[in-house]
């Protein structure tokens, strides 16, 4: 019997649990990989920055896990297929797939950019879709598996200056909900994760005052894993923010929401990432 960190993963792969974490080069993805490594699990880590991915692999190994390093982009069909083939050939398949890669730039509709919408959807929605297409057949065939999609509380309403991000996360939440229903009875479970604010590279570019109940990265990752371990359909946190957003803001009459959100729009201040500036200088795709 192998060491499984004392965790019952609910799947029966016959060895340490095999988990994919996309976007494992920083923030929540890196910390999820490290915490899963501490369970003695096998962690396949993806992301575009190969050097940062190696650092994540070192953290996984130092914590007691096994790491498979798969540098590349979730926006590239061939790379995603190649990464899944590498996982199959190393471990025979996957037990968990944590689809966490994401980008989140501010965009004011007064300066609308279709390129920001396209890029955001390509990573946040289609990046997850490419991995669902790659990983689901194997999970269905083995009769077990857990898909974890990292969406956001921002997906519950169109937040000011956040159209591309809110829309991409709303679409991801709906896609995952349909998948959860379709996959009932196959042994494959789908968990949607909606974090509030957690410290990461993405949130480091936000104005601190616009992030109530900001969490430390290890606490955010631990909250995700507690929810997945419990197999909640939707994991949302921290509760002082997520309960009002999910059960109040999301149900507010439209005209009232519009007024409140307009009043709050000036709180949304974000420094663009280097990638966003590069893309903006290239103009529309
Ligand atoms: N932190 C929060 O407050 C918060 C709240 C709600 C939801 N979320 C969600 O949590 C997830 C993780 O975000 P984070 O906050 O930890 O931010 P982060 O530190 O910026 O991490 C984002 C990760 O996504 C990866 N990524 C971006 N573009 C990619 C691409 N084309 N292909 C593959 N990977 C790509 C990045 O890796 P490379 O750049 O190396 O490719 C990085 O590892 C995101 O989906 C985000 O929307 C975060």
Confidence (pLDDT) at 113: 93
Confidence (pLDDT) at 285: 47
3-state secondary structure of 211: coil
CATH homologous superfamily, domain 18-282: NAD(P)-binding Rossmann-like Domain (3.40.50.720)
The rounded distance, in Å, linking the Cα atoms of 150 and 169 is 9
Confidence (pLDDT) at 283: 56
Confidence (pLDDT) at 11: 52
Nearest CA to ligand 1 atom 30: 73
For residue 3, the CA-to-ligand 1 centroid distance in Å is 30
Atom number in ligand 1 closest to CA 52: 40
Whether the CB-CB separation of 177 and 149 falls below 8 Å is answered with no
**Beta-sheet pairing, 188-195 with 234-237:** parallel
H, E, C per residue of 67-136: EEEEECCCCCHHHHHHHHHHHHHHHCCCCEEEECCCCCCCECHHHCCHHHHHHHHHHHHHHHHHHHHHHH
Catalytic amino acids?
165
For residue 29, the CA-to-ligand 1 centroid distance in Å is 7
3-state secondary structure of 2: coil
Kindly list the protein residues whose Cβ atom lies closer than 6 A to any atom of ligand 1: 22-29, 47-49, 52, 73-75, 100-104, 123, 150, 152, 195, 197-198, 200-203
For residue 172, the CA-to-ligand 1 centroid distance in Å is 14
Q: For each of the chain's 285 residues, which pLDDT tens digit applies?
A: 233 433 445 455 568 999 999 999 999 999 999 999 999 999 999 999 999 999 999 999 999 999 999 999 999 999 999 999 999 999 999 999 999 999 999 999 999 999 999 999 999 999 999 999 999 999 999 999 999 999 999 999 999 999 999 999 999 999 999 999 999 999 999 999 999 999 999 999 888 888 999 999 999 999 999 999 999 999 999 999 999 999 999 999 999 999 999 998 887 777 888 888 888 776 554
Task: Give the number of residues written for the chain.
Answer: 285
Angle at 90 between CA 38 and CA 59, to 5 degrees: 25
For residue 256, the CA-to-ligand 1 centroid distance in Å is 32
Nearest CA to ligand 1 atom 45: 102
């Amino acid at each position: 019997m192998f060491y499984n960190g004392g965790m019952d993963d609910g799947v029966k792969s016959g060895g340490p649990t095999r988990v994919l974490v996309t976007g494992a080069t920083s923030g929540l993805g890196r910390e999820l990989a490290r915490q899963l490594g501490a369970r003695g699990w096998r962690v396949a880590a993806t992301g575009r920055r190969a050097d940062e991915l190696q650092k994540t692999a070192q953290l996984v190994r130092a914590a007691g896990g096994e790491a498979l390093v798969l540098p590349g982009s979730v926006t590239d069909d061939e790379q995603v297929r190649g990464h899944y083939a590498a996982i199959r050939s190393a471990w025979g398949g996957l037990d968990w797939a944590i689809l966490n890669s994401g980008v989140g730039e501010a965009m004011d509709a007064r300066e609308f950019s279709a390129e920001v919408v396209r890029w955001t959807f390509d990573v946040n929605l289609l990046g997850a879709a490419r991995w669902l297409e790659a990983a689901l057949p194997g999970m269905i065939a083995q009769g077990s598996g857990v898909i974890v999609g990292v969406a956001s509380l921002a997906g519950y309403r169109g937040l000011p200056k956040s159209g591309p991000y809110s829309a991409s996360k709303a679409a991801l939440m709906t896609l995952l909900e349909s998948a959860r229903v379709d996959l009932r009875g196959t042994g494959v479970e789908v968990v949607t994760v909606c974090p509030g604010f957690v410290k990461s590279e993405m949130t480091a570019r936000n104005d601190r005052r616009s992030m109530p109940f900001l969490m430390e990265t290890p606490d955010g990752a631990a909250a995700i894993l507690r929810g997945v371990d419990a197999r909640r359909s939707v994991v949302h946190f921290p509760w002082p923010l997520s309960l009002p957003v999910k059960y109040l803001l999301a149900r507010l009459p439209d005209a009232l929401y519009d007024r409140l959100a307009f009043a709050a729009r000036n709180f949304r201040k974000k420094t663009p990432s280097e990638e966003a500036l590069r893309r903006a200088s290239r103009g529309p795709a």
